[in-house]
Amino acid sequence: MTAKPRTYARNPHDVVLTFLSAREAGALSSDGVTVYALSLGEHGWQCTCTGFAYRGCCVHACAAALPRCLWCDSTRELASYTNGSDNDHLLTLCAACYQPTR
């Protein structure tokens, strides 16, 4: 992750995440430098930040739990679609990635 200017992100949609696997991620802190480790456990996402240690919840864990676009990882303007070419498998895509067939 590249260092970014300090932000005061309290909106989970604004948290910069890097998924290492389906159960592990790194979250860039609002200081633009610190990276917190996230892991998916039995009771949801857990974070190494002090806010999570104090409250048992934080913006980073909330961000990791958000549904994401299958193609670009966006968390905004999502919709689910049935893929008729894949046994009606359900896909979640953002508005920018959705290309309806004609």
Q: What's the pTM?
A: 0.76
Highest mean pLDDT among 37-46, 66-75, 80-89, 93-102: 37-46
> Buried b / exposed e across 28-47, counting CB within 10 Å, b at 16+?
bbbeeeebbebebeeeebbb
pLDDT of residue 41: 94
pLDDT of residue 66 exceeding 90: yes
Which value, in Å, is the radius of gyration of the alpha carbons in the chain? 16
Could you read off the pLDDT of 77-96 as tens digits, one per residue?
A: 999 988 888 888 888 999 89
Task: Give CA 91 to chain center in angstroms.
Answer: 16
Per DSSP, helices labelled H in 1-102 are: 50-55, 59-65
- Mean of the pLDDT values across residues 5-28? 84
